[in-house]
Amino acid sequence: MSDTIVQALIHQTKRPLVTIGIPTYNGGSSLRRAVQSALDQDYDHLEILIADNGSTDETPELCHELVKLFPFIKYIRHPENIGMLGNFEFLLQNASGDYFMWLAVDDTLTKHTVSRCVDFLERNNDFVLASGTIEYNVNGKVVEFERGFDFYQHSAINRVMGYYLKVIHGAMYHGIMRTKQAQQVDIRRVIGCDWHFVANMAFIGKIRNLEFIGYQKSFGGASRNFDHYAKLIGESSFARDHPHFKIAMDAYKEIMHHSGVFSSLPVFTRFYLAVSSFVAVNFGYYVRIYPLVVGGRLKRGVKNTLSRISYLLNAILNTKL
């Protein structure tokens, strides 16, 4: 064995193991693309864990082929569908790495995502979650970026409230996190579960959104809109019609009753944080975002009305002529 190979192996064993968890159901070509983006990472100490929710397409054949080619890929096929969120939770609880991240089958990673995030976390022990800038696309066209999710205040309460006030889509959920800390957090079967998961992590430690494109997320999958996502996880019609108010209610319940992460807080402090988070979610949407939504609807409505008027006037003039 050459000295170069020996040095590479020594270097690899010194680097912390990172588990990339990929939940899938009938992933097809999207799964192949997601896995390839994980294989293309410039970080060489990976465990790729694929959890198959009983796919009926070519997913099993593809995964068996990948396992033969790459010994660090592990494939688990559930005998029956355990639900999308159940599959996400399974991956986290079965991760072997010091660090963990979820990679959805519709999404991809840029080449330096793992190495840059791990390097940052290794140098900053008080941070528990790091991500690159999130790039959102629809049909391959970039439509939005999610950045600036830097919550490193000394106060855990301020970090949680700051996150709930700022979050719009919640893709920090796909950042790289310290596995042991993440395994303390339960995934709720509610709309906005990704928001609440990250809020728990923000209470445990500091989080950082690094300045590079790290995660490329498609809006065409399960996350295409709140209504579709709510149906997938079996949420109520109220949640589908009023998603942000339901998320705000669940933020209160998560902090006040459900999550053991917040149990160290005195009751009054926990109540204060729960109420503040409820207000933050509602303020973040109904004050910052909703007016833009309404304005966009009004703008489109006026534009359509003017187009109809223009069409009628042209029709009248053409008739007279």
Sketch the domain layout of the chain as residue ranges: 3-236
308 C-beta neighbours (distance < 10 Å), count: 10
Q: Distance from CA of residue 196 to its chain's centroid?
A: 11
pTM score: 0.85
Question: HSE-up of 138 (CA within 13 Å, CB side)?
Answer: 5
* pLDDT tens series, the chain, 321 aa: 444 434 444 445 579 999 999 999 999 889 999 999 999 999 999 999 999 999 999 999 999 999 999 999 999 999 999 999 999 999 999 999 999 999 999 999 999 999 999 999 999 999 999 999 999 998 889 999 999 999 999 999 999 999 999 998 888 999 999 999 999 999 999 999 999 999 999 999 999 999 999 999 998 766 667 787 888 888 888 998 889 999 999 999 999 999 999 999 999 999 999 999 999 999 888 887 656 444 444 445 545 555 566 556 566 656 655
**Residues 183/92, Cβ–Cβ less than 8 Å:** yes
Q: Distance from CA of residue 289 to its chain's centroid?
A: 20
CATH class for the region spanning 3-236: alpha beta
Nearest Cα to Cα of residue 70 among 91, 49, 84:
49
Query: Which residues 6+ apart lie within 8 Å of 278 measured at CB?
Result: 248, 249, 251, 252
The pair phi, psi for residue 104, each rounded to 5°, is: -75, 150
Question: HSE-up of 290 (CA within 13 Å, CB side)?
Answer: 11
Q: What's the CA gap between 132 and 142, in Å, rounded?
A: 16
